[in-house]
Amino acid sequence: MTSLAWLLPAALSLGFLGLMAFLWALRDGQFDDLEGAGWRALEDGEPLDGKSSREAAKTRPPLNDAASPLGRGAKHG
């Protein structure tokens, strides 16, 4: 019975805290654009650093196939 003495206030305070967090997010406009994030995830936009994927590939150093164990220059057996 003593566990109810602290479980009930703890549950009520956590519920109140969750309600306050929801109302704060609602007031801040977190739920204004429900579909925008999904569409932005599907967009094929530029990378964040401003380089296109082709420019980023040009600046990347070439792989050394001969040094790699799975490369063309590897000797088997």
Domain regions of the chain by residue span: 1-31
73's CB contacts (< 8 A; 6+ apart) are: 65, 66, 67
The residue with greater pLDDT, 50 or 1, is 1
Cα angle 38-44-47, degrees, rounded to a multiple of 5: 105
Q: What is the pLDDT of residues 23-41, one digit of tens each?
A: 999 999 988 888 887 888 8
Task: State the chain's mean pLDDT as an integer.
Answer: 77
What band does 14 get if pLDDT is binned at 50, 70 and 90?
A: very high
> Contact, 69 vs 76, CB < 8 A?
no
Query: Residue 2, CB half-sphere, CA atoms under 13 Å: how many?
Result: 0
pTM over 0.85: no
H or E stretch including 5? helix 2-28
